[in-house]
Structure 1
Amino acid sequence: MGKATGFMEYDRIETPVRKPKERVRDWNEYSLPLEEADLKIQAARCMDCGVPFCSIGMEIKNGVSGCPLHNLIPEWNDAVYRGDWKEALELLLKTNNFPEFTGRVCPAPCEGSCTVAISEPAVGIKSIERAIIDRGFAEGWIKPTPPKVRTEKKIGVIGSGPAGLACADQLNQAGHTVTVFEKSDRIGGLLMYGIPTMKLDKESVSRRVQLLEAEGIRFVTNVDCGKDLSFQELKRDFDALVLATGAGKPREVAVPNRDSKGIHLAVPYLTASIRDLLLNKTEQSLSAAGKRVIIIGGGDTGADCVATALRQGAKSILQLGRRGKLEEERSENNPWPEYPHVFQMDYAHKEAEAVYGMDPREYLLSPVSFVKNEACEVTGIRTVQVERDEETKRYREVPNSERILDADMVLIAAGFEGAEDAIFENFKVKKTKQQTIEAAKGFYRTSEEGIFACGDARYGQSLVVTAIAEGREAAREVDFYLMGETFLP
């Protein structure tokens, strides 16, 4: 490394962010870039550790440890320390098609398995990654690079999220003719309509799509494949199909009075908000303004709902989680290099605390029923406290712990249950017990000849970085299937 003792000399510098009370007044990205001098110091903290655990991309206890893309992190850290940003960019793009996305929205499992993190705060890998790709665009180094030679093979990629886009990018670079289908009105999947603009500005998504288009990929929107275009038509027109449709089937909260007005699923709520912003509407069509909002679900999607409702002017916000509050430090059951399951204040929770004076999260609460008035409008949630049985590992109700929480709007962010039912009906592919498309990792082939699957549709709800890795690996298998050999990484 450029600075062999840097990890002993320098402290971690966190990515700067805008002040919470200021940023809730707009929809712009909340994080800010680090100064170049600080980036070089952060890069200098990268150890010459022999085995770069940051890049291992292994599953340990059903969780991702290290980067699933196997990014060349020590190498591009060294290049940044030396001030060779062009080399850093070349190294970064060898393994990651879209660093501008992962550098903003990835929870950074690479940092969780960083060797420095055994005893000190991890190297600021994510902030360096973002700086490299942003520098590449700013300097004009990133330009369309269409393939010099085309094959006669045609591939249809269904779904334009990170898995679909990564798969399409790789196959296009291999010289195949690629068409990406998206049932929504804009390309990007959850990158466009699932992740709020304050985490990922939509201009960066559109910029990447335009770049891919200039390289020869054809994009088709407002087409629901399997419905608007039949399975038979798609099989006739393409030599191979890739299902990258995501895990879009929401997990419901099946309790009495679910049909009350004012109860919404999280993703349609977030989508409506983002679409209104992109259309420059002065008012949000599905707004939390002046309402007491309760969000069911303690994950990232729930946090994004918190941040969105804040900006819409919610009167109050509570986020309910069934699980308990995490420990401040790693437990004995969560050792390095596993992803650290520790308590954190997400961007949205810091904003809510700044506005309302408290963390909006409540733990170990389970909904029993929704409360509604005579007009069938939701007025609250009846909840019960739960506790975890350490023997069975299941949650049980605590006697006499029932509470009613007032609410004018309820957002359900309880996760997803796999691919949508229509995928299995329309494409005749087999499903797993987890309701995902059956396709073995490393092969990505479904039960139907010539049809492949990748991303959340195959893997289940996961990270953007995992989806990109899946798309890349699936592309390699498609290329091999069509050509009998492959040179894709």
Structure 2
Amino acid sequence: VCIGDAKPSPGIANDASQRLSARKLLAEFDAVVLAGGSEVPRDLPIPGRELEGVHYAMEFLPLQNKRVAGDAGVRELTAAGKHVVVIGGGDTGSDCIGTSNRQQAKSVTNFELFPMPPDVERNPVWPYWPTRLRTSSSHEEGVSRDWSVATKALVGEGGKVKALKAVRLAWKDGKSSEVPGSEFDMPADLVLLAMGFVSPLQSLLEELGVQKDARGNAKAETDGANAYATSVPKVFAAGDQRRGQSLVVWAIREGRQCARAVDEFLMGFSELPR
């Protein structure tokens, strides 16, 4: 079932056989929980972004899953025989690296905007994720990793990306500046953007009339009498759709807490754990 009136974005396959409008959703259910995650990827608005061969990571990765599953008619987008540049140093970027290697890429390079982290986190950061260098099995398969690099432009030939222009950065007190004379070019037949996600899809939030925060997430508090309740009566929000891109442990926690909040809303009390 596809919820909402908006059509899927170009290039996104949707196999839903039924469509349910937001208005009908509210009319037919006593409570609605929005937990659709943060799906709008961070873009790279630089010259050449429109060239063929520049893709979001989530345009590239699901195709390999479909091939492995034996699906027919999978789009021909692979790293085979190409110079691949992955922009973004997180888990999604790591997945792009591993997949590119398995597809027999000619070379794989990984750019990260921030400085190379230390091998060991020396500051107390619990319960947050420690900032330290992580080398995944995908990295071990083969990749050239480069930190403090900003991609400035993508260069094409015949409408297809062939190279990128980048510059090295110097970081001080959390702010970056370009290093004079550090500009360089890199061959690139496939550029994968893995720089995180900025917000949930906006169409359903707008159809429901849910108030949003400054980043486009569904606005809802996690404590108090109206925990996880949005600005629209009987509509709740949890996980990345409420807090923005985060870790799965937060999604699990908010899912449990939101379930209790909905139970209290419907029954007047709840015995579910929080």
TM-score (norm 1): 0.51
Query: Quick check: 1:431 aligned with 2:212?
Result: yes
Q: What residue in structure 2 maps to residue 486 of structure 1?
A: 270
Between the aligned partners of 1:296 and 1:270, the Cα distance in structure 2 is: 14
User: Deviation of residue 441 (structure 1)?
Assistant: 1.5
Query: Quick check: 1:414 aligned with 2:195?
Result: yes
1:222 is aligned, of 16, 19, 41, to: 16
Matches within 5 A, 1:152-231: 222=16, 228-231=19-22
User: Deviation of residue 335 (structure 1)?
Assistant: 5.3
Query: Quick check: 1:399 aligned with 2:180?
Result: yes
User: Deviation of residue 274 (structure 1)?
Assistant: 1.1
Q: What residue in structure 1 maps to residue 165 of structure 2?
A: 382
**What 5-or-longer segments of structure 2 have no aligned partner?**
4-14
User: Deviation of residue 472 (structure 1)?
Assistant: 1.1
SS in 2 for 1:417: strand
Deviations 1:114-165 (A, max 9, x none): xxxxxxxxxxxxxxxxxxxxxxxxxxxxxxxxxxxxxxxxxxxxxxxxxxxx
Task: For 1:341, give the aligned amino acid.
Answer: T
Contact 1:276 1:285 in 2 (8 A): no
Contact 1:436 1:460 in 2 (8 A): yes
Task: For 1:381, give the aligned amino acid.
Answer: L
SS in 2 for 1:410: strand
| Structure 1 residues 263 and 229: CA distance shift in structure 2, 3 A | same
Which protein has the larger Cα radius of gyration, Structure 1 or Structure 2?
1
User: Deviation of residue 338 (structure 1)?
Assistant: 5.1
2:90 is aligned, of 299, 306, 309, to: 299
Between the aligned partners of 1:342 and 1:334, the Cα distance in structure 2 is: 12
User: Deviation of residue 421 (structure 1)?
Assistant: 2.0
| Structure 1 residues 282 and 385: CA distance shift in structure 2, 3 A | same
Contact 1:297 1:321 in 2 (8 A): yes
Matches within 5 A, 1:257-296: 257-280=48-71, 285-296=76-87
Task: For 2:130, give the aligned amino acid.
Answer: P
Matches within 5 A, 1:31-430: 222=16, 228-280=19-71, 285-331=76-122, 333-334=123-124, 339-352=129-142, 359-373=143-157, 375-390=158-173, 393-430=174-211
Task: For 1:386, give the aligned amino acid.
Answer: L
Query: If each structure's strand is expressed as a fraction of its own residues, which one has the higher value?
Result: 2
| Structure 1 residues 238 and 441: CA distance shift in structure 2, 3 A | same
Task: For 1:387, give the aligned amino acid.
Answer: A
Contact 1:276 1:284 in 2 (8 A): no
SS in 1 for 2:236: strand
User: Deviation of residue 280 (structure 1)?
Assistant: 4.6
User: Deviation of residue 376 (structure 1)?
Assistant: 0.8
Task: For 1:346, give the aligned amino acid.
Answer: S
SS in 2 for 1:380: strand
Between the aligned partners of 2:2 and 2:252, the Cα distance in structure 1 is: 17
| Structure 1 residues 408 and 323: CA distance shift in structure 2, 3 A | same
| Structure 1 residues 351 and 282: CA distance shift in structure 2, 3 A | farther
Task: For 1:340, give the aligned amino acid.
Answer: P
Between the aligned partners of 1:337 and 1:473, the Cα distance in structure 2 is: 18
Between the aligned partners of 2:220 and 2:17, the Cα distance in structure 1 is: 24
Q: What residue in structure 2 maps to residue 158 of structure 1?
A: none
User: Deviation of residue 334 (structure 1)?
Assistant: 4.0
Between the aligned partners of 1:236 and 1:267, the Cα distance in structure 2 is: 34
Q: What residue in structure 1 maps to residue 10 of structure 2?
A: none
Deviations 1:21-42 (A, max 9, x none): xxxxxxxxxxxxxxxxxxxxxx
Contact 2:52 2:160 in 1 (8 A): yes
CA RMSD in angstroms comes to 2.0
Between the aligned partners of 1:263 and 1:291, the Cα distance in structure 2 is: 13
Matches within 5 A, 1:441-452: 441-442=222-223, 443-452=227-236
Between the aligned partners of 2:235 and 2:28, the Cα distance in structure 1 is: 13
Between the aligned partners of 1:320 and 1:435, the Cα distance in structure 2 is: 27
Contact 1:430 1:437 in 2 (8 A): yes
Relative contact order (C-alpha < 8 Å, sep 6+): which is higher?
2
| Structure 1 residues 316 and 437: CA distance shift in structure 2, 3 A | same
Query: If each structure's helix is expressed as a fraction of its own residues, which one has the higher value?
Result: 1
Contact 1:334 1:341 in 2 (8 A): no
User: Deviation of residue 423 (structure 1)?
Assistant: 2.7
**What 5-or-longer segments of structure 1 have no aligned partner?**
1-180, 184-220, 353-358
Task: For 1:382, give the aligned amino acid.
Answer: K
SS in 1 for 2:20: coil
Between the aligned partners of 1:328 and 1:232, the Cα distance in structure 2 is: 52
| Structure 1 residues 275 and 291: CA distance shift in structure 2, 3 A | same
